[in-house]
Structure 1
Amino acid sequence: MTLREIGRSVSNTLLRGVGRVSSNVQESKSIPVDLLESDDAVLAVFDAPGTSRDDVQVRFSEGSLHIRIDRFREEHDGFETVFPGRGLALTGEVELPADVEVDPNAATATITGNGTLEIHVPKVDRSDETQDDGLDVEV
C-alpha cells in the first residue's frame, strides 16, 4: 500500500466518522418547525427534505403534533458513500396554543415540492352552537 493510498484510507475513515456524528446529532434534535394560525386553522410547517409520504408518521396527542420521518439513502450506481451526514430517523413536535380547540380527525398532511411537511389542523367552529341556559321544567 502506498503512502497516498494510506492517506486516502485514513481520510475516508475520518469522513465516515464525522458523517456518522453529524447524522446522530441531526437525529437527536427536533426537526425545525414553524407554527402558523389563522381564524379557522393551525398550520405546522416542518423541514422534511428528501421525504416521501410513506416515510412520514403524524400523531396528535395532548395538544401537540408529533412527527416521525424514516428516510432512506438511495444507492447510486458507481458511487460509494464517503460522508453519511444526513439523519435518517428524524422526529419533531410542536405544541398547539392552549386556547385553541382543534379537530385532529380533520387534519391533513402534505409534503411540498420544496421539502416541507405541512400539517393543516382545522379549528373547531363553536359559533353555530347555541348556548345552553339549562332546561325549563314545568312545575
Structure 2
Amino acid sequence: MRGVGESVGSAVFGTLGRVMARTQEKRGLPVDLLESDDAFLAIFDAPGAHSSDIQVRFEDDTIFVRLDRFRSPREEYEMTYPGRGLALDGRTTLPDGAAVDPAGATATLKEDGTLHVRIPKADQATAHDGSDIETEPSADEQ
C-alpha cells in the first residue's frame, strides 16, 4: 500500500511541478529599466543561467532576452518536483524618442544572477534600429 501512495504522490508532484514550470515560462522575466545621461541599463533576473544560455537582441526600441537554462543531472537524486522553467523570455521597451546605438551595447551576466544590458545613447543621426548583443560571462564562468 505504501508503494501505491508513493507512486500517486510522485505523479501529483510531477504534474504540479510541470504546471509551475510552464507558468514560470509564460511570465516575462522581471526587469528594471534605468537611464543615465549617456545610456539605458536594463537589469533582468537571470537565475541559474550561464552566458552561453542567453540570447539578447535589440529591435524597434525593445530589448529582447531569451534564457534557455539546462538542468545538470544529480547522480544521487531523483527529480521529484520539476518546478523551474527552462525557457524564459523577457523584454523591455525604451521610452518614446530614445536615440540609442545598439552596436555599442553590452550584455553582462553578473554573479548575483542578473543580466545587465547597457545600450549607449546616440544622437538621432547615428541611431540604429536593431542588433544582436553578445552576452559576456560573469567572472565565475571565466
Q: TM-score range by the shorter chain?
A: 0.7 to 0.9
Counterpart of 2:140 in structure 1 is none
Q: Under a length normalisation based on structure 2, what TM-score does the superposition of the two structures give?
A: 0.85
- Per the TM alignment, residue 99 of structure 1 is displaced from its structure 2 partner at its CA by 2.5
1:33 aligns with 2:31: yes
Extract unaligned runs of 5+ from structure 1: 127-139
Counterpart of 2:79 in structure 1 is 81
Q: Deviations over 1:44-76 (max 9, x none)?
A: 000101000100000100000001110001101
For residues 2-17 of structure 1, the aligned pairs below 5 Å read 3-17=1-15
- Secondary structure, aligned partner of 1:15: helix
Within 1, Cα distance between the matches of 2:103 and 2:16? 42
Extract unaligned runs of 5+ from structure 2: 125-142
Deviation beyond 4 Å, 4+ runs, structure 1: none
Q: How many residues align?
A: 124
Identity %: 48
Say what the alpha-carbon RMSD is for the aligned residues: 1.0
Q: Deviations over 1:70-114 (max 9, x none)?
A: 000110112111100000001011000112211101000011111
1:69 aligns with 2:67: yes
Counterpart of 2:127 in structure 1 is none
Question: Pick from 9, 20, 23: which aligns with 1:22?
Answer: 20
- Secondary structure, aligned partner of 1:23: helix
Within 2, Cα distance between the matches of 1:11 and 1:34? 39
Q: Which has the larger radius of gyration?
A: 1
Q: Under a length normalisation based on structure 1, what TM-score does the superposition of the two structures give?
A: 0.87
